[in-house]
Amino acid sequence: TNALPWANATSDEDLFATKEKIMTESDKFFRSVGNGCQPVEQAFRAFFEEVRSMKYSQAPDYVKLRTLAEKMDDDIRLVAQNNPRGTVRRTTTRHGKKRTSAPTPQVQSKAQIIEVDDSDEDEQDEFHSAENDEEDDFYSCTEGGEDMEWDSSSPNTDRQQADSKPKAKNKVGIKVVVTKGPDEGLSFLLMNRESLVLGSSNLPHDRKLDKQHVQLTLQATKRVKKVIVKDLKSSSGTTLNGTTIGKGKEQTAFLSTTIGMGESTLSLVPLLPTELDVPASSPEEDLLAGSNERTSAR
């Protein structure tokens, strides 16, 4: 049998250095990730090198990471547009049914409290929509496939109608919890593609806050929940993990990020499945209910 390249490593440091050299210098690794698309391969290589250059002692440059990630998405969409067969997804059906082609359905965005331009997020959700199917779907930017459905001539008409029904989209949201400060214990509900403005109007005991201090916008996919934190030109400023956001500027936060404003510290907490099963109500009512409740810890 052929020995692995790092089989003769004498220490963990030697083993990691060998693996890093293989991943960094091997074009085969990036070609496999890019699936043969050179623009995607180059974009991923740039993202990979930026991540590898991070240091534990310094906060990551989230703006640059977001720019590189968006460039990968742009390159994937551009390749797909230049290759019409790449604009549809491929599905392998079972039971030997006859196969036909159909375009991928559009993904509709949810209602928002504050209107947010989330066209890029809709495109990303549409690109990853194949993950939501029960079948083994995949998306290729170089070799497009066909979207397979049950043929209308199939005798199993009931099965066809059942499979053609749209699947309910899971609700996605987080809680914004005041973990430190005069209003400690207050929590606010923030659903996907909604925006929440925080300040002295809903944290009344923090005298260092402006009336409208910061705006939080949740942009979540199936795997990643990120919050766009925008300072509304506040007088005392806003921080992410201790790093100040410029006045009127915005940065990206994740569930592990702490937000500082005035005398208060906020944490982003995932919702439990039971907390998503709430009675139907308007977004405004949901926020009002969340802003008037204190946790038992208070």
Burial of 170 (0-12, 13-18, 19+ CB in 10 A): exposed
The architecture of the domain spanning 173-291 is Sandwich (2.60)
All CATH 2.60.200.20 domain ranges of the chain, comma separated, are 173-291
pLDDT: which is higher, 164 or 239: 239
CA-nearest of 173, 170, 263 to 213 is: 263
Residue 213 pLDDT grade (very low, low, confident, very high; cuts 50, 70, 90): very high
pLDDT: which is higher, 146 or 238: 238
pTM tops 0.85? no
CB 199 within 8 A of CB 209: yes
> Which long-range contacts link 19-26 to residues 24+ away (Cβ below 8 Å)?
20/52, 23/48, 24/49, 24/52
CA-to-CA dists, residue 122 to 56, 107, 173, angstroms: 33, 7, 16
Give per-residue pLDDT as tens, 192-212. Answer: 999 999 999 999 999 999 999
Please say if the pLDDT value at position 12 is more than 60. yes
Average pLDDT of the chain is 70
Lowest average pLDDT, out of 36-45, 130-139, 159-168, 179-188, goes to 130-139
Q: Please report how many Cα atoms fall inside a 13 Å half-sphere around the Cα of residue 84, on the Cβ side.
A: 1
